[in-house]
Amino acid sequence: MPTRHELHALVDTLPDEAMEAAHRILSRLQAWPSPPAPDVHEMRKRVELRRREMRQGQKPGTIAGFGGTGGYDPAKGSGASSFHYWDGDTFVQATLRCHQGHELKIVERIRIEGPRLFYKHEVLGPGGTREEREVIFDFGESHGQ
C-alpha cells in the first residue's frame, strides 16, 4: 500500500498542467467512500423525466420552447441541462445540474410590469434545501416596452 510520503512525492513531480486535474481527483477522495458518479444513461433519463414534468406543468395557452442546452462529462462527474418556456408573460428557464453525484434544480423567472423588470430564481438542492431570491430593476418610463 502506498504511503503518504510516496503520494506527496508523486504530487511534487506533477507537471503544472496536471495540477487542476490532480486537485479535482484528490478533493473528491476527501469523503470516503467517494460518492459514485452518475451513469450517463441515468442522467439522460433524469433529463427526459424533467422535460415531461415541465410539459405537464405548463399552463394551457402558453408557448414552450423546450430549447436549451445540455451536456455531461463523466470524467468530471458534472453536467447540466436546461429548458426554457413561457408562462403567460413570464420567461422561465429551468436548469438541472449534477455535480459529482449532487443535484441542483434552478428555476429562473423574468417578467416586466410597467417600468420594472422582475428577476426571480429558486434553487432546490441536496437534502431538500431550497433558496429563493427576487431582484427588481426599475428602468423607468423612458425605456418603454
Residue 1, pLDDT score: 85
Burial label, 134 (beta-carbon count in 10 A; 0-12, 13-18, 19+): exposed
Q: pLDDT below 50 — which residues of the chain?
A: 145
Residue 22, pLDDT score: 79
CA-based nearest residue to 83, from 67, 99, 102? 67
Classify the phi-psi angles of 61: left when phi > 0, otherwise alpha if psi is within -120 to 50, otherwise beta. left
Q: Please state the length of the chain.
A: 145
* Matching residue, cell 453536467: 79
Residue 36, pLDDT score: 60
- Give per-residue pLDDT as tens, 59-99: 565 555 555 566 777 777 788 888 887 888 899 888 888 88
Residue 112, pLDDT score: 94
Residue 94, pLDDT score: 87
